[in-house]
Amino acid sequence: MSIFGNLFKRHEHCWHTIRDPGYGREEELVSGPITGHGSYISDPNNKVWREVECGVGKYKKKGHIMINKNIAIFTVIEDLALVAWLTLVRAGQQVLGVLVLPVGFFVEHVIAYNTKREAPLLSLDTTFRGKLFVNAVVETVIWVVWLALWPIYTGSLFGVGLPLLASVFLFLALIVEHSLTDNIFHGRPLTENLFNKKVVGFSFVEFLGATAWLGLIGAGLPFLGVVALVVAQYIEHQQALALANK
């Protein structure tokens, strides 16, 4: 069975366009019968095109990697919160900076959760908003501790200090936080399996993005650092939602 399962059924030997919900690709395929919800448009050459949402927003083009609007929105919100936090901390406004984080993270998680359940982006599910706030607070603590550990260099490479303690902490903490998020999205108890091996891969992607972010800032390349963070977190969010939809 393909990664798309047997969701679709229509004319035999027709062309259709469907999206891989795990990685945001659209592929033009020829297959047997397909079915399901959604609209079909036939052209004179008997081609049938289908636009599929699959729970994480629309992709309107085919043939290459696409940007998902909803994922882009909550990725930008999270990264704006992180950049604002770091800017305020470096300006001596540590308390205000820390207060920015849970707000940004909460809005991010609300939009991600609503994207997963195909609800209006800013709707608040009374059952889950408390859990989403807990998630935002946990994530805030992780980033604050990581930044505090960053100046503690426990090794060096070619004379450049390496924040190994901060790196190990962030990677392991992100696994726990992403496991917590996945528990919320699947309706499981918050503390169930807080070291979920299924989140390790995209936790590592986010860890790399965060490390590149601060590293490039230290090298005098803050814009490239933000680009690295945004790209890494978009990929992480895409993969996390794919897991949430399983």
119 — pLDDT class (breaks 50, 70, 90): confident
Same domain, 98 and 210: yes
Grade residue 214 by pLDDT with cuts at 50, 70 and 90.
very high
Q: State the pLDDT at residue 122.
A: 84
For 221, the domain range is 69-244
Q: How many domains does the chain have?
A: 2
- Same domain flag for 37 and 111: no
* CA distance linking residue 213 with residue 176, whole number of Å: 21
Q: Are residues 60 and 114 in the same domain?
A: no
* Helix-, strand-, coil-residue percentages of the chain, each rounded to 5: 55, 10, 35
Question: 5 vs 232, which has greater pLDDT?
Answer: 232
pLDDT digits (tens, 9 = 90+) for 47-90: 333 333 333 333 333 333 457 899 999 999 999 999 999 999 99
Q: Which of 218, 219, 215, 179 is nearest to 198 (CA)?
A: 179
Residue that is last in its domain, among 51, 66, 81: 66
User: What mean pLDDT is predicted for residues 196-209?
Assistant: 97
Averaged confidence pLDDT in the chain: 78
Contact assessment for residue 53 and residue 118, using Cβ atoms and an 8 Å cutoff: yes
Q: Which of 66, 89, 108 is the last residue of a domain?
A: 66
What's the average model confidence in pLDDT over 136-141? 98
**213: region left, alpha or beta (phi > 0 left; psi from -120 to 50 alpha):** alpha
More confident residue, 18 or 197: 197
| Residue after which a domain boundary falls, among 66, 100, 115 | 66
Residue 234: is it exposed, middle or buried by C-beta count within 10 angstroms (0-12/13-18/19+)?
buried
Strands 25-31 and 14-20, by their bridges, are antiparallel
